[in-house]
């Protein structure tokens, strides 16, 4: 029987909040738990692509035009009927767990994606598509190809660019769950309510022609420093909002700490999952996986 994989978008209005860290850690933790995982990098910074594939392989994928940038320009600008599956690099991870490589595949991004998105918007406008029509074209392409791919994977993780772009909005509206990594400080939480109100509730959200998101976003506290008072107060305030009446967001119990082991795991080559993340972080990720699974079963 074919899979019907869960689609998770990782997004935030603000950059530098641990979004790529969340994508890589979640992908590897789910794979270590036995899942077959696909990461689709929708961020032109391509940080998740670099962390998972490495510099040499990513350079090859860009050179061979096997990135999301090439796929979207082929489909939306040149009407080439290629399938996104042709752009998937399978078994991209060299990290092993219990003697087996982590089953992670990747649709890589490139720095040209941001310019490609602008070019696509201008081209569709020249063809007579208004804003709703442009959103509909992007929705048709991404929802169709991701719908096909989710039959081959247990989890499809979408790494969204900071802010709100046409691609990010479509990703948020077609996925099953949106995780919002958030540093618990004033600057990182400043735009959180505006982000939620622009896509999930409020006048702007209602004016979109796209389907509504399936559920409220879920805030994940990231880069937490436990002995910093203002972070402790911010976490308490966020949890109070999430537990109140008609909240703008839900919250994960899991918190990702600010830890040198996490920075090392992203920047260095380690042969095994446990060596890469260290025992304390592996324990956090085990709980994270349980909690993510619970999001799909009403817990």
Give me the mean pLDDT over the 117-144 stretch: 87
Neighbours of 22 (CB within 10 A): 23
Are 19 and 171 spatial neighbours (Cβ–Cβ below 8 Å)? no
Query: Quick one: pLDDT band at residue 198, thresholds 50, 70, 90?
Result: confident
- The number of residues in the chain equals 299
In a domain, 265, yes or no: yes
Query: Quick one: pLDDT band at residue 2, thresholds 50, 70, 90?
Result: low
28 conformational bin, left if phi > 0, alpha if psi -120 to 50, beta if neither = alpha
Q: Which tokens belong to 74?
A: 């082929």
Query: Quick one: pLDDT band at residue 48, thresholds 50, 70, 90?
Result: very high
Q: Is the alpha carbon torsion for 134, 139, 142, 145 positive or negative? A: negative
In a domain, 127, yes or no: yes
CATH code at 22? Answer: 3.40.50.300
Q: How far is CA 98 from CA 32, 33, 92, 154, 272, in A?
A: 8, 10, 17, 20, 8
Q: Which tokens belong to 200?
A: 């999930």
In a domain, 293, yes or no: no
Percentage of residues of the chain with pLDDT beyond 90: 65
In a domain, 1, yes or no: no
Percentage of residues of the chain with pLDDT beyond 70: 98
Alpha helices in the chain (DSSP H): 19-32, 47-53, 55-63, 68-76, 113-126, 131-149, 166-174, 186-189, 192-199, 203-207, 229-242, 260-267, 273-295
pLDDT single digits (tens) 265-290: 888 889 999 999 999 999 999 999 99
Query: Quick one: pLDDT band at residue 187, thresholds 50, 70, 90?
Result: confident
Q: CB burial class (10 A; 0-12, 13-18, 19+) of residue 246? A: exposed
Q: Establish how many alpha carbons lie within 13 A of residue 91's alpha carbon, considering only the half-sphere containing its beta carbon.
A: 3
In a domain, 164, yes or no: yes
Q: Which of 244, 183, 187, 258 is nearest to 216 (CA)?
A: 244
pTM above 0.75, yes or no: yes
Which pLDDT score is estimated for 3?
Answer: 64
Range(s) of the domain holding residue 155: 6-284
Q: For residue 296, is pLDDT > 70? A: yes
Q: For residue 298, is pLDDT > 70? A: no
Query: Quick one: pLDDT band at residue 82, thresholds 50, 70, 90?
Result: confident
DSSP three-state, residue 43: coil
Query: Quick one: pLDDT band at residue 191, thresholds 50, 70, 90?
Result: confident
In a domain, 189, yes or no: yes
In a domain, 291, yes or no: no
**Number of domains composing the chain:** 1
Average pLDDT across the chain, whole number: 91
Q: How far is CA 33 from CA 19, 72, 76, in A?
A: 21, 32, 37
In a domain, 95, yes or no: yes
């Amino acid at each position: 029987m074919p899979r019907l994989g869960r689609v998770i978008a990782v997004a935030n209005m603000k950059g530098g909040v641990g979004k790529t860290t969340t994508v890589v850690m979640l992908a590897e933790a789910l794979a270590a738990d036995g899942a077959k995982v696909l990461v689709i990098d929708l961020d032109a910074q391509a940080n998740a692509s670099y962390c998972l594939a490495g510099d040499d392989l990513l350079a090859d994928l860009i050179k061979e035009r096997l990135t999301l940038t090439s796929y979207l320009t082929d489909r939306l600008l040149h009407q080439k009927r290629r399938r996104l599956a042709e752009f998937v690099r399978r078994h991209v991870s060299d990290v092993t767990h219990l003697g087996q490589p982590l089953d992670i595949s990747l649709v890589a991004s490139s720095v040209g994606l941001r310019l490609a998105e602008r070019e696509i918007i201008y081209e569709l406008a020249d063809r007579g598509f208004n804003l709703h029509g442009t959103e509909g074209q992007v929705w048709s392409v991404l929802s169709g190809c991701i719908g096909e791919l989710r039959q081959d994977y247990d989890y499809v993780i979408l790494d969204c660019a900071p802010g709100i772009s046409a691609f990010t909005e479509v990703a948020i509206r077609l996925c099953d769950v949106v995780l919002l990594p958030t540093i618990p400080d004033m600057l990182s939480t400043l735009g959180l309510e505006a982000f939620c109100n622009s896509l999930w509730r409020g006048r702007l959200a209602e004016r979109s022609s796209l389907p509504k998101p399936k559920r409220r976003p879920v805030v994940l506290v990231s880069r937490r420093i436990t002995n910093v008072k203002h972070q402790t107060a911010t976490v308490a305030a966020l949890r109070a909002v999430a537990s109140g009446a008609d909240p703008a967001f839900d919250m994960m119990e899991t918190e990702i700490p600010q830890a040198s082991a996490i920075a090392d795991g992203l920047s260095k080559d380690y042969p095994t999952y446990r060596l890469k993340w260290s025992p304390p972080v592996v324990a956090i990720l085990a709980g994270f996986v349980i909690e993510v699974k619970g999001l799909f079963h009403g817990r």
